[in-house]
Structure 1
Amino acid sequence: MSIFIKSYQNLIGVLAIALLCFNCSKTEESSKTITESVTINFVKSLGGSKNESAQAITKTLDGGYAILGYTQSLDGDITNKTNESFDYWILKYDQNSNLEWQKTYGGTDDDRGNDIIQTSDGGYAIIGFSKSNDGDITSNQGAQDFWVLKLTASGTILWQKNYGFLGADIGNTIIQTNDGGFLLTGVLDVSASNGQGNSKNANAKHSKTAHAGGDYWAIKINALGAIQWRNYYGGSFTDTPYDAIQTEDNGFLLVGSSDSSDVDIKGNLGTYDFWVVKLSETGALVWEKSFGGSQTDEARSIAKSSDGNYIIVGNTRSSDNDVSINNGAADLWAIKITPTGNLIWEKSFGGSSFDVALSISKTVDNHFIIAGNSRSLDSNLTKNYGQNDAWILKIDTNGNLLWQNTIGGSEIDFAYDAVELNNKSIIVVGDTSSANFDLSANNGFSDLLIFKLN
């Protein structure tokens, strides 16, 4: 009996210690929330009397940064533009945020830039869509085409090419691949292309009769823009890719949204889902997975974590299936997956209104910056000046919120992209229609927005 009592007492002691350690662990985990802070260094709005927007930013080799978006104005901060159609607009800044140069590219119709990267030769590659067939554009295949430009370090065009068919084909993302070429991703209007847009070795099920509307479209080109392969992926409804990344095996992960439940999509959970597609180096579909719930869920950006897994961000209106919590109308939703697409964790951020993520990028300390917008004034969101405010967050690799801040005025303000510079300051870009609170002036309808955090 004494042996039993002693063993029982030892067991109670072990359980007590384990419970104490568990409580300590939970306390330490929760204390990670809002453990850092940032200060606003500056907020700037640039533009003219019409509409401007910044869609993407890239850190440059000289410690500065380059911004890509589009402009409609002929006045104000815009130079060397000859008509009021939309043109690509690129601005290059040094590490102290001094403007070094700016240039516009386009024709007499609607041309809008969506993504920019600095290339290994120190120049730039940019992508978006074009409706023009004059000016800097030599041809147009239909309504809109992917339009890609390769630039020197000073913004001079080395080459430009358009890719598309008769419909609205929108280029969203460009990445430089390990072989020195590029992967382009965006939307192909398969109905208008009459089933064209696949390489000859594509699966036979990829045809006009199997697909409809917009599909994920991936185009692999060499360093001079020549097509090496192109394939589309999706189903009979709307499938839109927003970001891509090259994987360790030289394949690719594409992320976006899908409301299809046929052809390439096998596990649709509701209306629109996060749809993740794994491709081989030659564009073959390796696997695909849907994440989300019964409502609308849209993935917008992907980044690789230091442990070899991937974090994907977007927004969710669901509160079931993969989504454990919904705080309001729409939440910023982040998920972490393995290289084979298994869900590691998922987390929702936001308040009782509409809150979304539009980009994610890795920081020097292996954490992540998320850019988006918010309409909420509760939960961790302590200020909202009007409608949508630009929203910037930092999370760690486990999805714990380290800090967040909003910038805006009484009108609509969006943050589309952000990057951490070598000096650890953060530059965020988007657009704004406000002229009060954080925004001192507005030049027209909407301005290009830049702000810096330290």
Structure 2
Amino acid sequence: MHYILTLILLTSFLYAKNGDFSIVINEPFSNALVDITEDYDRDISAVGFIKKYKSNQAKQDTTYTNAFDYLASLSNGNNGSQTHLVKVNNQADITLRKSTNLPYFNEAVSIIKTPQNGYFIGGHTLEGSLLVLKMDSNAQTIFHKTFGTANQDKMSKMIPLRDGGVLAIGSSVVSRSPNDNLFESGLGLSDIYLTRLSKEGEILWSKKYGTTKDDTGVDAAEADDGSIMLIGQVSEKKSKSVTILRITQNGDKIWIKEYKNEKNLTPHKIIKLRDNNFVISLSQNDDTNKEQIRLIKIDLQKNILQDKMIQTTYASALKDIKEFSDTKIAGVGYVRDGHNTDGLAMLLDNKFSMLNQEHYGSDEYDSFNALTILNNSQIAAAGIYTNKDSQESNMWIVKLNKDLSMAKIPTKSIESKR
């Protein structure tokens, strides 16, 4: 496998960079970046989570003679995640870092730009509620809203809508409370759970979909006519299949299509193309039980226009895909060779033929979770990077050229240094 090693961090709260545009942010515990976007000032913003201790105020006056006792008193079993936003400029300088510091532990899954150069951030609390934050361009919270059913809910993705609102996609454990009027018994073990919110954060509707099996909402994309294409995972014992669902802007079901296969299918992403058709990124086990990439192109009438397996030497998956203006498709995810996992970047033509692929990372566990195509056709990707001999993952941002080579940090001119 081909590796490009990023510079390792030496201390907490600092980051390192060299000629390659690759930033690793090292903090205590396992942290990650899960989504990324380009700001209107051409900077890059990524969101993820960072682990924090929850202080035990009741023991502030206690004197400790042993450092391990002191650390145990701080954690008290309550160390957990907080949504964390990172902003970097074209020189690979980190210009902003902000944690939510909400009173409950939470993790982000999506970041969306607002017209004011701020952000919608979607995620969930670890107690089982869905979470939406609206922030200004300095990551100051305008409002945050927690919502959901009486039971355990989890968000997989949040997407922007044409009216300025957002759609939260996720799952909800079957409701057993008579006070939950969404579904008193649910459809199965867990159900696809959608909530549409206005740009002011008002909940317009919430609906569940699914089978008598275990259903999870994965991702969605809005069509030009306002309808929504949704993908979900259906699980039963050791079998996994994929549901493709089209609903109206009010959440009413138009049609549903299920993909079943003797080899497990896992959906990762759906995007709308410029021709108003859709591409779905999945992974599927081959005859040797090795994970391979599968891409499906589908129209609004559920006609399959293309369906192709991307055969690679190593087990691979594309967790995010985006379309260039020339109709080529960029994808990022992971590639596995034995016990080593690297970040995968792939470029395909509009017929899903692979034009190029590159692997980035260390000898440990590394993965790209999301990408955005920048105004200059470069790619920014976010994910996790693991230092050598470490068991803890770090936040990771890279910038790639369109040919998937690592972008270089621009050299500052003499004039800019004066």
Q: TM-score, normalised by structure 1?
A: 0.74
Give distance in 2, aligned partners of 1:339 and 1:327: 34
Deviation of the 1:421 alpha carbon = 1.0
Judged with a 3 Å threshold, the aligned counterparts in structure 2 of structure 1 residues 122 and 192 are, in CA distance, closer, same or farther, namely farther
Aligned to 1:241: 217
Deviation of the 1:42 alpha carbon = 2.9
Aligned to 1:451: 398
Aligned to 2:318: 357
Aligned to 1:65: 44
Judged with a 3 Å threshold, the aligned counterparts in structure 2 of structure 1 residues 153 and 210 are, in CA distance, closer, same or farther, namely closer
Aligned to 1:341: 302
Judged with a 3 Å threshold, the aligned counterparts in structure 2 of structure 1 residues 315 and 196 are, in CA distance, closer, same or farther, namely farther
Q: Unpaired segments of 5 or more residues in structure 1?
A: 1-39, 75-81, 132-142, 199-206, 262-269, 320-325, 377-383, 437-441
Aligned to 2:196: 220
- Given candidates 271, 296, 310, the residue that maps to 1:303 is 271
Give distance in 2, aligned partners of 1:277 and 1:193: 27
Contact persistence 1:216–1:239 (CA under 8 A): yes
Deviation of the 1:108 alpha carbon = 5.0
Deviation of the 1:162 alpha carbon = 0.6
Aligned to 2:105: 110
Paired residues for 1:75-114 under 5 Å: 84-107=79-102, 109-114=104-109
Deviation of the 1:295 alpha carbon = 2.5
Give distance in 2, aligned partners of 1:351 and 1:403: 11
SS across alignment from 1:375? strand
Give distance in 1, aligned partners of 2:107 and 2:343: 21
Give distance in 2, aligned partners of 1:448 and 1:259: 30
In structure 2, what residue type is equivalent to 1:372?
G
1:122 aligns with 2:75: no
In structure 2, what residue type is equivalent to 1:284?
D
Give distance in 1, aligned partners of 2:107 and 2:168: 15
SS across alignment from 1:423? coil
Paired residues for 1:45-444 under 5 Å: 45-73=24-52, 84-107=79-102, 109-131=104-126, 143-191=127-175, 196=180, 198=182, 207-209=183-185, 211-259=187-235, 271-317=239-285, 328-351=289-312, 353-376=314-337, 386-435=339-388
In structure 1, what residue type is equivalent to 2:383?
G
In structure 1, what residue type is equivalent to 2:157?
T
**Which digits, 9 at most, give the CA deviation of each residue in 1:342-370, with x for residues without a partner?**
11112222446532221111223322211
Judged with a 3 Å threshold, the aligned counterparts in structure 2 of structure 1 residues 181 and 342 are, in CA distance, closer, same or farther, namely same
Deviation of the 1:98 alpha carbon = 2.5
Residue-pair matches, total: 360
Contact persistence 2:149–2:175 (CA under 8 A): no
Contact persistence 1:331–1:351 (CA under 8 A): yes
Contact persistence 2:23–2:92 (CA under 8 A): no
Structure number, greater radius of gyration: 1
Judged with a 3 Å threshold, the aligned counterparts in structure 2 of structure 1 residues 210 and 153 are, in CA distance, closer, same or farther, namely closer
Judged with a 3 Å threshold, the aligned counterparts in structure 2 of structure 1 residues 414 and 313 are, in CA distance, closer, same or farther, namely same
Give distance in 2, aligned partners of 1:287 and 1:360: 24
Deviation of the 1:391 alpha carbon = 0.7
**Which digits, 9 at most, give the CA deviation of each residue in 1:32-69, with x for residues without a partner?**
xxxxxxxx933322121211101111122222221010
**Which digits, 9 at most, give the CA deviation of each residue in 1:219-245, with x for residues without a partner?**
111122111111110012211122111
Q: TM-score, normalised by structure 2?
A: 0.80
Give distance in 2, aligned partners of 1:293 and 1:230: 31
